[in-house]
Amino acid sequence: MIVEIGHFALILAMFAALAQSCAGLIGGQRADYRFYTFTKRATDITFVAAAVALIALIHAYLTSDFSVKNVVENSHSLKPLIYKIAGSWGNHEGSMLLWALVGAGFATFLSHSKEELVWTLKSRALGVQGLIVALVIAYVVFASNPFIRLPNPPFQGNDLNPLLQDPALAAHPPFLYLGYVGLSLVYSLAIAGLLDGKVDAVWARIIRPWALASWVFLTVGILLGAYWAYYELGWGGWWFWDPVENASFMPWLLGTALLHSAIVTEKRGALAAWTVLLAILAFSLSLLGTFLVRSGVLTSVHAFALDPKRGVWILLILALFTGGGLLLYGLRAGVMNSDKGMFAPVSRETALVLNNLFLVVATLTILVGTLYPLLGEAIYGRAISVGAPYFNAVFTPLMSIILVFLPVASFFSWKRSKISTHAKKLIPALIIAIIGGLVVAFIAQNKPMSAVGVSLGVWLVLGAFSEFLQKAGLGKSNDVVKRAFALRPMYWGMFIAHLGVGVFVIGAVVETSFQKEQTFAIGIGETVQFEGRKITLDKIASLEGPNFYSDAAQISVNDGKKTIILNPARRYYPAAKMPTTEVDRKASLFGELYMALGEPNSESGASKWVLRVYFNPFIGWIFGGYFLIALGGLLSLADRGLRVAAPKASGDIAKAAS
């Protein structure tokens, strides 16, 4: 019964979203407040109805209702509670339902936000968002319905892919979707701006918090995914340039570009047309990502529930919103010709334009690399693989170039700047960075690129500090610390995020260059040597979990001073017929000891276990750096200046704010 209520609510949400769409667009077009009021009510109904639908699905998972096909395919009565809840969106149908709910949720937030002065823009944005949500729900209802009942329900379900039964991965899809779908609202606001004929500083000010929020969500989502890959897949890696990872990384990169260009539009009234284009493309790429992941066009380790028929649906939605958006963009090019803000070649504007150039080229490079196997097949009839070595070879240099300039560019002022006046403030940072690089070059003589990479990371970290302390009045005032804390959250955000980039670079370079890995075959009671440590397999215990069996090892590691115990394990999930590796890790100041237990191996008579041991130096810096980037975004979001309602005298504010 509850499943049917959910099913009904879903269809209701679809019609409510359609009503929201029509009323919103008409309300904006005719500047009729009655339609606007109507679309706001419809937005609330869409959201509530979509929420009821998801809650009904979660209820079916919680009660293990195996008369529902989706529950049978993705759940098991013995599965722990948290994964029953997360399992409802850990599959294709449920995840698309979550997509629709988040889309409706963003619309509701916008509808209740305080920016009433620009209500025609809001009305149109709700209209566009309504159309997106309506089409996604239509797709769920007609092509991937999670509420389908089975005529002959089985007694037990097939269980969720055990790799996905993990706390980080329970939270990974919601965050990623909050990011992806948040970009849909930025897209809606961009289209609304085009329709409204006003794409200016006020518009930029309205979209920026939404862009920032979705970008923060996307950052956290990617971080959770990378962290999960690191400890769950048992390979000691955290980024594989897998098509699905690329699908989330491309909107993130474009989102990063969008944040930077929106600053220029907001503060200087320039680059408006460019910002709109980025808003359209960022959402298009998140749709494209959804298409690539769900259609199975590209094989990927993440692929689940593939169905070419579904691909066609998503492709149509993608074509409509990308094509429609770009068409409107072309038709309305005139309204954006407000790019009056003049700037000299050396200025903050130029720096941000270059930032955008590199971020967009990097994004397109990843796009070309991700899609190239399809092109190769279609045009040349050859099966070509494009993998991590390619992406590392092209992406890393592109990003390095732009990152070298980051500390210098962050000193630039608007309109016109001089390199020479700022150069001396960065000399200490430059010297320390070079020393850092030399130290690495001395330690690892055969790895010149690692030295360059570490140097770059140190340069970024110290550059961020230099710029921030400068802002706090270093050299001019005695209480720099006090003044630093008095700075607006926006500046703190910029500082922390740029600092995070540096921390990440150091971590990534050190980890990839100096990771140590060795595989052992080890019997119980035996000891092996690894990087100055004695590793002993004490025992293997067979345990039974709620829905798995486990072989857990007890391994003592002696580094000459003290002994620590690690417990890597292997699990076997009988319902899903899959083994998983449960690694165990021990972090120390400079890195992390990481162990993955392999299978028992009795070929040579005595029973041995395969044990993969890694030392991952500075791994915490990678995730820590990425976390700082997200934190920086969050701090910027907390800035009140971003959230004040845009006043009518819009153009002036833009100038004043500079």
Partner 1 sequence: MKKFFSSIILLLGFVAVNAFAQDLDPKQNERYNNLAQEIRCVVCQSEPVATSSAKIAADMRDVIKEHILKGESDNQIRKYFANHYGEYVLLRPQLSAATIALWASPFILLIMGGAVILLLMGKLKSTPEEIPPESIPTKTEEDAEALAALKELEEK
Per CB under 8 A, contacts with partner 1 among 564-583 are 570, 572, 577-579
Query: In the window 200-239, what residues touch partner 1 (CB under 8 A)?
Result: 233, 235, 237
Can residue 552 be called a binding residue for partner 1 (CB under 8 A)?
no
Residue of 305, 320, 353, 404 that binds partner 1 (CB under 8 A)? 353
Query: In the window 398-457, what residues touch partner 1 (CB under 8 A)?
Result: 398, 415-416, 446
Is the distance from CB of 275 to CB of 265 less than 8 angstroms?
yes
Is the distance from CB of 500 to CB of 628 less than 8 angstroms?
yes
Is the distance from CB of 553 to CB of 609 less than 8 angstroms?
yes
Between vectors from CA 156 to CA 154 and to CA 162, what angle results, nearest 5°? 135
We find the least distance from the C-beta atom of residue 512 to partner 1, in angstroms, to be: 10
Nearer to partner 1, 367 or 432 (CB): 367
Binding pattern for the stretch 619-638 against partner 1, x by CB under 8 A and - elsewhere:
--------------------
Nearer to partner 1, 131 or 264 (CB): 264
Q: Which one-letter DSSP state was computed for residue 519?
A: E
Residue of 301, 419, 435, 587 that binds partner 1 (CB under 8 A)? 301
The count of other CB atoms within 10 Å of the CB of residue 322 is 18
Can residue 599 be called a binding residue for partner 1 (CB under 8 A)?
yes
Binding pattern for the stretch 305-344 against partner 1, x by CB under 8 A and - elsewhere:
----------------------------------x--xxx
Residue of 111, 120, 290, 300 that binds partner 1 (CB under 8 A)? 300
We find the least distance from the C-beta atom of residue 301 to partner 1, in angstroms, to be: 5
Binding piece for partner 1, criterion CB under 8 A, among 51-59, 98-106, 313-321, 367-375:
367-375
The size of the interface with partner 1 (CB under 8 A), counted in residues, is 75
We find the least distance from the C-beta atom of residue 15 to partner 1, in angstroms, to be: 39
Handedness of CA 89, 93, 96, 98 (dihedral sign): negative
Nearer to partner 1, 375 or 431 (CB): 375
DSSP assignment of 528-578, as one string? Answer: EEETTEEEEEEEEEEEE-SS-EEEEEEEEEE-SS-EEEE--EEEEETTTTE
Tokens in use for 582?
Answer: 């449960």
Is the distance from CB of 260 to CB of 348 less than 8 angstroms?
no
Can residue 645 be called a binding residue for partner 1 (CB under 8 A)?
yes
Question: Could you give the CA distance from residue 433 to residue 436 in angstroms, rounded to a whole number?
Answer: 5
Binding piece for partner 1, criterion CB under 8 A, among 117-125, 138-146, 257-265, 650-658:
650-658
Binding pattern for the stretch 248-287 against partner 1, x by CB under 8 A and - elsewhere:
----------------------------------------
Nearer to partner 1, 236 or 437 (CB): 236
Residue of 345, 475, 560, 605 that binds partner 1 (CB under 8 A)? 345
Closest by Cα among 655, 621, 383 to 502:
621
Q: Which amino acid is at 198?
A: K
Tokens in use for 546?
Answer: 């709620």
Binding pattern for the stretch 494-533 against partner 1, x by CB under 8 A and - elsewhere:
-------------------------xxx------------
| SS3 (DSSP) at 271 | coil
Is the distance from CB of 233 to CB of 245 less than 8 angstroms?
no
Handedness of CA 483, 423, 253, 269 (dihedral sign): positive
Residue for token pair 């971003």: 642
Can residue 601 be called a binding residue for partner 1 (CB under 8 A)?
yes
Closest by Cα among 266, 103, 280, 292 to 180:
103
Between vectors from CA 567 to CA 565 and to CA 568, what angle results, nearest 5°? 135
We find the least distance from the C-beta atom of residue 361 to partner 1, in angstroms, to be: 5
